[in-house]
Amino acid sequence: MYQKGLGIPQDHVEAVRLYRLAVNQGYALAQNNLGVMYAKGQGVPQDYVQASMRFNLSMALGNQTAATYRDRAAALMTPAQIAEAEKLARKWKPGAIGVPSIVVRPLIRGSP
């Protein structure tokens, strides 16, 4: 709601705060939406490494549409940045107990 201002004033910083809370509870869509915020620089500094990391985590939680966003971000990144995003995704730990562990698949250019 805050990201798009649906029924309330648009507030990207609040949207990021709420997405982070949801991310720590294992919500795949929240990971994806937080990645979008990083990719666009909304409420956070624009950061494709962080965006790609979030898209990878979202995919690992079952959100296959995050692959499209990850591939778009990867097209704007260097191979070193892509590797860094994958490394960060592997190391990422949720803040909540009971969140499923994350398995990140490496990006292979030209593959879905």
Q: Give the separation between CA 19 and CA 30, rounded to whole angstroms.
A: 5
The ranges assigned to domains in the chain are 28-91
pLDDT in tens, 65-85: 999 999 999 999 999 999 999
Summarised one tens digit per residue, pLDDT across range 1-27 is 656 555 766 789 999 999 999 999 889
Q: Measured between alpha carbons, how far is 18 from 51 in angstroms, rounded to an integer?
A: 16
